[in-house]
Chains A and B, each alone.
Chain A
Amino acid sequence: MNAPQRTTVHEAMVRLAVGDREAFDTVFAGLWPELLSFVRRAMPGDSDAEDLAQQALLKIFFRISDFDTGRDGVAWAFGIALYEVRTRRRQRQRRREVAAEAAMSAIEGGASPEDLLIEADLRRAVAEALGELTDADRAVLSPDAGAPAPLSAAAWRKRRQRAVHRLRAIWRSRDA
């Protein structure tokens, strides 16, 4: 969207916010393609991108009467879209974590061939994520590792905690 288009859409948004319904078409035609393109870029290859863009657009129209007309309308609209994208990513992430936990508990209680396949896949993913850690972090996370003599138990716990954080960050970046 170039500067004149942006100004046109902003002015139409201001008019729509105060109830001038004749500005509706300008806002719709100006925002929809840009929102769709933005969400597609933010979620590449995601089949839900169109749905999410629609959802964001409807939220914008629902809340436009509350829009502070002193602000930039286009930036406000894209702020809503960005929030929707982030919310969807968080939901996805959470769902993956829950699914992984469920798969692991299923494996522990007697596994089907499908479970075994998932387990193998998860183990491979975990091994790859562990491979990206430093040697020190991997040593700390080893199940057999204990606190070495000069370190207190609290310092050892802290070190493990930091290593887990780093592993989690790597895991999430792989998913994203």
Chain B
Amino acid sequence: MPDVVQLRTAARRTYERGRARAALRVALVVVPLAVLCARETEAPWKCAAVGAALLFVSVLVRWRQPHGTWSVDAGLATGAIPMASALVLCRFASSWPADAALSVCVAAGFVSGGLASRAMTPSTRGLSTGWLTASLVAGLTAAMGCVGIGVGTAAGAVVGVALGAIVAVELPRGASV
């Protein structure tokens, strides 16, 4: 008869390995996003740094947090809005004034944070902290695009995401962002 205690320990270890493997798949999305950022902006090292942070957070959340996969998916999907806005700015409006670029990134970040947060509210997923991690991932995704314009713009996007997330959480359930 096999030792059930040992088997239980081995099964638990195997479960964690399986979750880590599943969590690492997010690299298939994050790495191309970082490469896109590096190609479209003239700041490959900044893109790499933010991309590494985004990858680390995404893998960690998907691995350790219950429903982490949904949080990360929501964060990446909604964070793509400010990221895409910033990349379009970099390509077509490089001569825009810094204030205008900052405004666009903050506004897109606000929308992104609101959407990410609403996607993970307790009414839809039964979660209490999911909105926080979704917003964190959305913020880092937004920063990856906006960092090409400048670190201040990226910080603005992150602030926009945070504000949007907080506003969305405070809104009554029936309301929409």
Contact = CB atoms under 8 A, between A and B. Distances in A.
A65 B67 contact: no
Contacts of A32: 4, 7
B5 to A, nearest CB: 11
Interface in B33-84: 63-70
B14 A58 contact: yes
B11 A58 contact: yes
A61 B15 contact: yes
B2 interface: yes
Interface string B1-14: 11010011011101
Interface string A48-69: 0010001001100111111000
B22 interface: yes
A61 B67 contact: no
A65 B14 CA distance: 11
Given A19-B64, A19-B67, A28 B8 contact: yes
Nearest to B11: A61
B2 A61 contact: no
A20 interface: yes
Contact of B68 (A19, A24, A62): A19
A65 B67 CA distance: 11
A16 interface: yes
B18 A20 contact: no
Interface residues of B, number: 23
B173 interface: no
Interface in A14-70: 15-16, 18-21, 24, 28, 32, 50, 54, 57-58, 61-66
Nearest to B2: A50
A122 B34 CA distance: 65
- Chain A interface secondary structure, helix, strand, loop or mixed? helix
A50 B2 CA distance: 7
Contacts of A24: 11-12, 15
B14 to A, nearest CB: 5
A62 B15 contact: yes
A35 B135 CA distance: 42
A32 B4 CA distance: 9
Interface string A107-142: 000000000000000000000000000000000000
Given A24-B15, A65-B19, A58 B10 contact: yes
A133 B61 CA distance: 63
A18 B22 CA distance: 11
Given A58-B10, A58-B11, 10 more contacts: A15-B66, A16-B15, A18-B67, A24-B15, A32-B7, A61-B11, A61-B15, A62-B18, A62-B21, A65-B21
Interface of A: 15-16, 18-21, 24, 28, 32, 50, 54, 57-58, 61-66
18 contacts: A18-B67, A19-B65, A19-B66, A19-B68, A19-B69, A24-B12, A32-B4, A50-B2, A57-B11, A58-B10, A61-B11, A61-B12, A61-B18, A62-B17, A63-B18, A64-B18, A65-B22, A66-B18
